[in-house]
Structure formats: structure tokens, C-alpha cells
């Protein structure tokens, strides 16, 4: 079945460093792809999404490009801030369901030091 695989964390960076969190997917066809973020003590929030191949999702300085050639949707940010410290989840929908179920990757803990 469809699934996503994320790089394992934790990832620790200094402020203003470049961030990449890898995500690859396995799916038939081209499902929508999502990145969610979970800040400490909070629920998950949608960070960005891409609905078709070659789309680029972006939000809050984060970007991810839907690459069908490499079945990837890597999350990037050019200059991270301490406030970006959170857990990041890659996800794709269960296309066998009309209800909006999502399959999540393991999550990658990001810690940014000042």
C-alpha cells in the first residue's frame, strides 16, 4: 500500500543553518503530499502541501518539491530559526478512503540552537 518514509532524527542545527529533511513515498499514481509540523505541547499543523507532480509547496520559509522521478518530497529551509524547533511529519492521503485519512512518516525531531 501507499506509504511515506522519513529520515530518522533527531536533527540538531545552529540558527541560520540550512535544513533538509528527506521524505520519499511509495504509491501508485501521484497522490497529494503534505508536511505537518508539531510544536512542543501543540497539535499537528499543516505546514505545506503539493497536490501534483512538480508542484512546490511553501510556507514560513519552508519549501518542498514534489519530484516524481525520485518519488521524493524533501523539506528544506535556507535559514532555520530557534522557533523552528519541532517535530516534522511527511504524510500522504489514503486514496482508498473518501474520508481524508492520512498516512504519516515517523516524524523528524528538529532542534535549533541559538
Partner 1 sequence: GAVVSQHPSRVICKSGTSVKIECRSLDFQATTMFWYRQFPKQSLMLMATSNEGSKATYEQGVEKDKFLINHASLTLSTLTVTSAHPEDSSFYICSARLAGVGGELFFGEGSRLTVL
The DSSP line for 22-55 is: -EEEE-SS---EEEEEE-TTS-EEEEEEE-STT-
CA-CA-CA-CA torsion sign (3, 42, 78, 54): positive
Of the pair 29, 43, the CB lying nearest partner 1 is at 43
Query: Smallest distance, Å, CB 105 to partner 1?
Result: 6
Query: Smallest distance, Å, CB 109 to partner 1?
Result: 8
The answer for residues whose C-beta is within 8 angstroms of residue 59's C-beta and 6 or more apart is 47, 48
Of the pair 57, 107, the CB lying nearest partner 1 is at 107
Q: 518530497: which residue's cell? A: 73
Of the pair 9, 14, the CB lying nearest partner 1 is at 9
Residues binding partner 1 (CB under 8 A) = 36, 41-46, 89, 97, 99-107
Query: Smallest distance, Å, CB 99 to partner 1?
Result: 5
Amino acid at each position: 500500500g501507499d506509504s511515506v518514509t522519513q529520515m530518522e532524527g533527531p536533527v540538531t542545527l545552529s540558527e541560520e543553518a540550512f535544513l533538509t529533511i528527506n521524505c520519499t513515498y511509495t504509491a501508485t499514481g501521484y497522490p497529494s503530499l503534505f508536511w505537518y509540523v508539531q510544536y512542543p505541547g501543540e497539535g499537528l499543523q499543516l505546514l505545506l502541501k503539493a497536490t501534483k507532480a512538480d508542484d512546490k509547496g511553501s510556507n514560513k520559509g519552508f519549501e518542498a518539491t514534489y519530484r516524481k522521478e525520485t518519488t521524493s518530497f524533501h523539506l528544506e529551509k535556507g535559514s532555520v530559526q530557534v522557533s523552528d524547533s519541532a517535530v516534522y511529519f511527511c504524510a500522504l492521503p489514503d486514496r482508498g478512503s473518501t474520508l481524508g485519512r492520512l498516512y504519516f512518516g515517523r516524524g523528524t525531531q528538529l532542534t535549533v540552537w541559538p
